[in-house]
Amino acid sequence: MTRKERFAAIIGWFETNQPVASSELHFQDPFQLLVAVILSAQCTDKRVNMVTPALFQRFPTPEDLASATFDEVYPFVKSISYPNAKARHLIAMARMLVSDYGSVVPSDIDALMRMPGVGRKTANVIASIVYDQPVIAVDTHVFRVAHRLGLSDGSTPRAVQLDLERHIAPSLRPVAHHWLILHGRYVCTARNPKCTDCPLTAWCKEYKPV
């Protein structure tokens, strides 16, 4: 099976069986999504969704967050992984958002990556979800699933991203990002993957029938 055929089969299965997929982070505007994605680095969406309602109520706008101090923000994110760094990143991000971008979350990947706490994965998530850009964000779930299913053998998230974007149609990339994330989160888990429940074992390079 060629890689092109592998992509066609796997993406075809998702299109037929899971046509709708979206982020599990809770947000109401691009600013809230940016905050939530920054907090989600090496942390579960479930945990992020537990803390953001109070955080957004206290700091509803970029201006509110930009004017906050570390001691004001930290209590809201202390249960998140790396709370010290993330509290500082959120404040610095908001200040740049206000001063450099007029409080509007930019659509440009490079502009997004200029902001503290925003790497390529976060920038791609924002560009994909908010601005419907044809990019695929590669987190640990996407990286793992892409390798197990033989969609990429790239050694870096960027290499995997390019492999996925090379073979997935631009119109499908936003939803494909979520297909792979959710499959990695709930089926193709890092430890003890649920192979007996997986509909994609026919294409999995690591599946070993009992």
Q: What is the pLDDT of residue 65?
A: 98
pLDDT at 59: 98
pLDDT tens-digit profile of 85-116? 999 999 999 999 999 999 999 999 999 999 99
Report yes or no: 119 and 79 within 8 Å, Cβ to Cβ.
no
* pLDDT score at 82: 96
Residue 24 corresponds to which tokens in the numbers above?
């599990």
Query: Annotated catalytic, 100?
Result: no
Note the pLDDT tens digit of each residue in 125-175. 999 999 999 999 999 999 999 999 999 999 999 999 999 999 999 999 999
d(CA 184, CA 122): 18
Q: Which residue has the tokens 């631009």?
A: 170
pLDDT at residue number 207 = 87
Contact 148, 142 (CB under 8 A): no
**Catalytic position from the list 45, 121, 132, 197:** 121
pTM of the model: 0.90
At residue 58, the pLDDT reads 98
d(Cα 159, Cα 145) in Å, to the nearest integer? 14
The whole-number pLDDT of residue 1 equals 83
Question: HSE (CB half, 13 Å, CA atoms) of 67?
Answer: 7
Q: Tell me how far apart the alpha carbons of residues 20 and 182 are, in angstroms, rounded to a whole number.
A: 11
**101/52 Cα distance (integer angstroms):** 23
Catalytic residue among 100, 110, 139, 205: 139
Residue pair 197/187 in contact (Cβ under 8 Å)? The answer is yes
**pLDDT tens for residues 41-81?**
989 999 999 999 999 999 999 999 999 999 999 999 999 99
Structure tokens at 117: 């706490």
- Examine the residue annotation and report whether 163 is marked as an active-site residue of this protein: no
Closest of 97, 96, 203, 104 to residue 145, by C-alpha: 203
Distance CA 136, CA 21 (A): 14
154 in Cβ contact with 163 (< 8 Å)? yes
